[in-house]
A and B are shown apart, each in its own frame.
Chain A
Amino acid sequence: MLKELWNDAEGGFHPASAPDFLPQTALKEVQLRRLRAVVARAYANVQLFRERMDERGLTPESIQSLQDIRHLPFTVKTDLRDTYPFGLFASPMSDVVRLHASSGTTGKPIVVAYTREDVEVWSEVMARTFASCGLHRGDILQNAFGYGLFTGGLGAHYGGEALGATVIPISGGNTDRQIMLIRDFNVTALCCTPSYFTHMVERARELGIDLRDLPLRVGIFGAEPWTDGMRHHIEAEAGIKAYDIYGLSEIIGPGVAAECSAQDGLHVFEDHFYPEIIDPDTGEPLPDGAEGELVITTLSKKAMPMIRYRTRDITSLITEPCSCGRTIRRMRRIGRRSDDMFIIRGVNVFPSQVEAALMAVEGTLPHYQIILTRKGGMDRMAVEVEVTPEVFSDSIRGLEDIRTRLAQSIERILGIRVELRLVEPHTLARSEGKAKRVIDRRNEG
């Protein structure tokens, strides 16, 4: 399909978006060709991949069809740690033009590498991301993802420039200045984590600035799971369309998948990132439509190919055609990560379940934090919720009532008792990157 339009706001089309509209047969051809090349490259250059394939009696020639991918071994996060820092590189350092690294909250960070060609692919998929969210040349994009070792900032930066938008590289933090520039520079689009934007909306309100009166029309949010309720809140409070994007450093950074105007699932840029859904317990591939763990193979990465990387994100693939016309498959929004889950008194809990319960009562998502403690061998769960103007009334009875309703709503969903505490606004830590929702003090003291 040849799109005549260039940078059309409605369809979000840009020349780089052409592969989004490839017929399935042509797409599969590209995928198979690239899959065979990347497996050959990983086998030839990365010891870990070669050893694991040898153990299974596989060679690059074993890949004759896309279905054969299921025979390949998985790669997991600990593989990156175990080979720290450069053990999974498939290119000599002289070809690597960029290194990024994770924050490394647990032990060693993980390091990811890019050749010049990788950076070009990254710029392309991020330009396709922004186009899919309806951005085009002429948009003024405030990039509030953190610049630095984190992939979010620079990934979005290169993509925005590749699209032809005007990029403001403000990075994360300094919320008052963020709001000043949104207003003074006539910013039309903004990208950051959804929790940070919620904080900006709240701060703008305190400063007496109504974001709905400003030209800001699109928000591109990623790097952490968020809910549809949070989306509705953000869209109503800021007068924008809020889109979800998905990516992870191990694969490339942001730019793996993005929502389109339909806001109904994220299109995976599967000409570069081949998605599979597996049963997280058995590792067996699941059919399209089934929910399971997302596994991605990078089809065109040079410096650091990832073969069947287990993302720990739980989702499903949608094969039905999308109303936006894109032919690449969609994945459902990530509601939960198998990593986020915590177990309390034998019950598996995801923060998203607590969010849904809070939202059911308040209509919007308040700032909250889950605190786990242990007393006399018994695990306890407390949820601290900041009081908002919406729920604050001048009566003690009214506040007790909201507190009880919040606690009951959580208890109904989780089936365990929680202590619910109302706290003053701004008492819970605000993150300028990914929000920290769970504080586990069970093994302290």
Chain B
Amino acid sequence: MKLQQLSLFLENRPGRLEAPLSAIAAEGINILTLSLADTAQFGILRLIVRDWEKAKRVLEQAGWVVNLTEVVAVDVLDRPGGLAEALRILEDADLNIEYMYAFSLRRGDKAILIFRFEDPDRAIQVLTDKGLHVVDGEELMSFVP
């Protein structure tokens, strides 16, 4: 149920984002979604890709420091209050979210969110119990053209 996310350390200066993205593009690896977290001096690029093992290898060989993190993808109704509802469930269960970002893909009337939890296994349990749909890697790939 968990997805593998790649994280890269980047310095916060012009042009730094392009190089790793070009490196994986050159290998024909498709990026499903990405997010950037940054401070004035540095940032973290987070990537969900189709073939994470290959992408990790390519990036490491090119000299980047790559970290592997497990994240959880959830689909929520794409209407006002859809996200709030999911967050309420997590809050009620006292689940700590380290960060989250939205997926660029939509699926009918649903939007897909990526969550990084302190305890992903318990989060999956809670979300599933409350009737939310956790999207696994295989299903996610099937949305991508």
Contact = CB atoms under 8 A, between A and B. Distances in A.
A424 B67 contact: no
B11 to A, nearest CB: 5
Interface string B1-12: 000010101110
Interface stretch (B22-30, B41-49, B77-85): B41-49
B144 interface: no
Interface stretch (A74-82, A93-101, A297-305, A392-400): A392-400
A397 to B, nearest CB: 9
A422 B38 CA distance: 13
Given A392-B9, A400-B39, A425 B44 contact: no
A394 B42 contact: no
A395 B42 contact: no
Contacts of B52: none
Interface of B: 5, 7, 9-11, 16, 37-39, 41-42, 44, 46, 57, 60-61, 63-67, 69, 98, 116
Given A393-B67, A394-B67, A424 B16 contact: yes
Contacts of A345: none
Contacts of A206: 60-61, 63
Contacts of B66: 389
B17 to A, nearest CB: 12
Nearest to B20: A424
Contacts of A394: 5, 7, 44, 46, 67, 69, 116
Contacts of A396: 37-39, 44
Contacts of B37: 396
A424 B69 contact: no
Interface in A399-417: 399-400
A387 B65 contact: yes
Contacts of B38: 396
A332 interface: no
24 contacts: A206-B60, A206-B61, A206-B63, A207-B61, A387-B65, A388-B65, A389-B67, A392-B7, A393-B67, A394-B116, A395-B44, A396-B37, A396-B38, A396-B44, A399-B39, A399-B44, A422-B11, A422-B42, A423-B11, A424-B10, A424-B11, A424-B16, A424-B64, A426-B63
A175 to B, nearest CB: 12
Interface of A: 206-208, 387-389, 392-396, 399-400, 421-427
A206 B65 CA distance: 10
B41 A395 contact: no
A388 B10 CA distance: 12
Contacts of A387: 9, 65
A388 B44 CA distance: 14
Nearest to A396: B37
Contacts of B41: 421-422
Contacts of B7: 392, 394
Contacts of B9: 387, 392, 399, 422, 424-425
Contacts of B61: 206-208
A396 B66 CA distance: 14
Nearest to B39: A396
Nearest to A388: B65
Contacts of B60: 206
B63 A425 contact: yes
A210 to B, nearest CB: 14
B11 A392 contact: no
A396 B5 CA distance: 16
Contacts of A389: 65-67
A315 to B, nearest CB: 37
A425 B11 CA distance: 10
Contacts of A393: 67
Contacts of A207: 61
Which 10 residue pairs are nearest across A and B when measured between Cβ atoms?
A: A394-B7, A394-B69, A426-B63, A387-B9, A392-B65, A394-B67, A392-B9, A389-B65, A424-B11, A396-B37
A399 B37 CA distance: 12
Contacts of B64: 424-425
B65 A425 contact: yes
A416 B9 CA distance: 28
Contacts of B42: 399, 422
